[in-house]
Amino acid sequence: MKLADRMSRILTESAFDVLVRARALEAQGRDIIHLEIGEPDFDTPRHVIDEAKRALDAGFTHYGPTQGLPELREAIAEYICATRGIKVTARNVCVTPGGKPIIFFPIMALVEPGDEVIYPNPGFPMYESMIGVMGG
């Protein structure tokens, strides 16, 4: 099978390689501050675990709406209004399973070959790959 030419522009997501090395150093007794994959440095709070279990037992085991559950989007909008001092409604909120998809979709929609794209560096190598795949 021949892959599309753009596949040659995808870089390796090295953050997980760094995580493996960091954990090996921790196993040797080194004190490590993890900045590699964006995972929180705390366990999931008990009330979140309990609610997730309750939701599973109640049958919430299927796909939800594309932008996220309306009640969750509304709660996020209210939180942003209260903590950031800006007017946001649920229409402005999209809940995704991580940051990469929500970064990739606007790049797909907006970037043309030859466009200049500014992104955080150091950052996740996948950002550069997403931009490169689209020709930016």
**Phi, psi (degrees; rounded to nearest 5) at 76:** -65, -45
The mean per-residue pLDDT over the stretch 95-121 comes to: 84
C-alpha to C-alpha distance for 49 and 63, rounded to whole angstroms: 19
Q: Does residue 6 have a pLDDT over 60? A: yes
C-alpha to C-alpha distance for 16 and 37, rounded to whole angstroms: 7
Cis amide linkage into residue 125, ω under 30° from 0: no
**Phi, psi (degrees; rounded to nearest 5) at 58:** -85, 0
Q: Does residue 135 have a pLDDT over 70? A: no
Question: Of 125 and 51, which is predicted with more confidence?
Answer: 51
C-alpha to C-alpha distance for 118 and 113, rounded to whole angstroms: 14
Per-residue pLDDT reduced to its tens digit, 55-102: 999 999 999 898 999 999 999 999 999 999 999 999 999 998 888 888
pLDDT band at 105 (very low <50, low <70, confident <90, very high): confident
Q: What is the DSSP string of 27-70?
A: HTT------SS---SSPPPHHHHHHHHHHHHTT--S---TT--H
DSSP-derived 3-state class of residue 125: helix
- Residue reference for tokens 């940051």: 99
- pTM equals 0.60
Structure tokens at 113: 């070959």
How much is the pLDDT for 121? 77
- Count of all residues that appear for the chain in the document: 136
**What percent of the chain lies above the pLDDT cut of 70?**
96
